[in-house]
Amino acid sequence: MLAYALPGYATSERTQQNALRLIEALGVAGGIIDIRPSSEQMLKDIGHPCAEGRRVYDVTFENVQAGERTSHLFRLANRHEALVVGTGDLSELALGWCTYGVGDQMAHYDVNASVPKTLIRHLIQWAADREEVGEAASAVLRDVLGTAISPELVPGAHDSAPAQSTERAIGPFDLHDFSLYYVTRRGYRPAKVAYLEASAWARDVPGGPADGRYTLAEILRWLGVFLDRFFRLSQFKRSALPNAPKVGSGGSLSPRSDWRAPSDSGAAPWLADLEIARAWIERSSGGRSEGGPGERIAGRARPKAPVATDTRSRRRRPGRRRSTRRTR
């Protein structure tokens, strides 16, 4: 196994040291390659303002770094007759939080492609607690878990910790993984997913958990982000996935197994259904909730979740008459 740390413009000292400590603790070959020189050349070649010293940290600036990392890894694989092992996970693929083509979307084999990020965190914690990879490596893994999830592509005020936060940008992975499971594995409409998320996570709804992590407004906001990114923004990245194993009950988003969708699809029907849920929840929270016996929580009726019904008329087959039988 060959392992490389590939620091760029925004790599924090904590992240870089953890990478080097993990390489040493695991006893694998590898090293450190600074991608800034090649990134600077790329920025200069394409005429990016950063090449002139201007602080323009746009998506091009970010993707140049992601592309340089992947380019280096594939050329290293050529040289050593090896395979590039991908680092992306199921959650990132669902949200399109990866750089297409020459970036972290591509690898020779994507080992985590069907494992959601929340499960990966639990697996890392489990491996560290059991010291599956030794005491020194376990200490590094615990520190990794304590580091904010970040692509580290935009420089901040200091380099002691990541300046970017993935969850501030696209939302909490707890909610996104919840949405992903019930949308893809259960086939639930957004209205029902919103109801389930509010019941499980919202601290400001009647009957909700007292220790809920999110407000109802946050849940609806991030569910909208998930639906837009999953159905409209990112399918083209999943349509060109590298090979990967299928792991766990969450299934896979590979077009060769569990999930097939057009790359130019839109999110309008799903977002419209979410608006139905939003209006329903707002009416319920306003005191006009409906409920039956045994459904009262905290002194008020608990509304039932919206249910999809088939309104298509049932037509008799042509040429057949409805028959009745008279009985005595």
How many Å apart are CA 128 and CA 114, to the nearest integer? 22
284 backbone dihedrals φ, ψ, rounded to 5°: -65, -45
Length of the chain: 328
Over residues 131-170, the pLDDT tens digits come to 999 999 999 999 999 999 999 999 986 656 667 899 999 9
Q: Please report the sign of the dihedral spanned by the C-alpha atoms of residue 175, residue 177, residue 180, residue 181.
A: negative
Q: What does the pLDDT read at residue 185?
A: 92
Helix (H) or strand (E) holding 30, with range, is: strand 29-32
Average per-residue pLDDT for the chain? 87
How distant, in Å, are the alpha carbons of 8, 81, 83, 120, 244 from that of 108?
23, 12, 6, 20, 9
Q: Which residue has the tokens 């420089």?
A: 155
- Domains present along the chain, CATH in parentheses: 2-168 (3.40.50.620), 172-233+267-301 (1.10.10)
Q: Where do runs of H (alpha helix) occur along the chain?
A: 13-26, 36-45, 59-80, 90-95, 117-130, 135-145, 166-170, 173-180, 190-201, 216-227, 235-238, 268-285
The CA-CA-CA angle for residues 290, 292, 294, to 5°, reads: 125
Tokens encoding 13: 């000292």
How many Å apart are CA 289 and CA 309, to the nearest integer? 20
How distant, in Å, are the alpha carbons of 119, 132, 145 from that of 122?
5, 14, 9
CB within 8 Å of 315: residues ≥ 6 apart = none
Residue 301 forms beta bridges with which residues?
296
pTM of the full predicted structure? 0.84
Over residues 274-314, the pLDDT tens digits come to 998 888 777 766 533 333 222 322 333 344 444 444 434 44
SS3 of 60, please?
helix
Q: Which residue has the tokens 């608990």?
A: 302
Query: What is the residue-level pLDDT of the chain in tens, covering all 328 positions?
Result: 999 999 999 999 999 999 999 999 999 999 999 999 999 999 999 999 999 999 999 999 999 999 999 999 999 999 999 999 999 999 999 999 999 999 999 999 999 999 999 999 999 999 999 999 999 999 999 999 999 999 999 998 665 666 789 999 999 999 999 999 999 999 999 999 999 999 999 998 877 788 889 999 999 999 999 999 999 999 999 999 999 999 877 789 999 988 999 999 999 999 999 998 888 777 766 533 333 222 322 333 344 444 444 434 444 444 544 444 444 4
Identity at 140, one-letter amino acid code = V
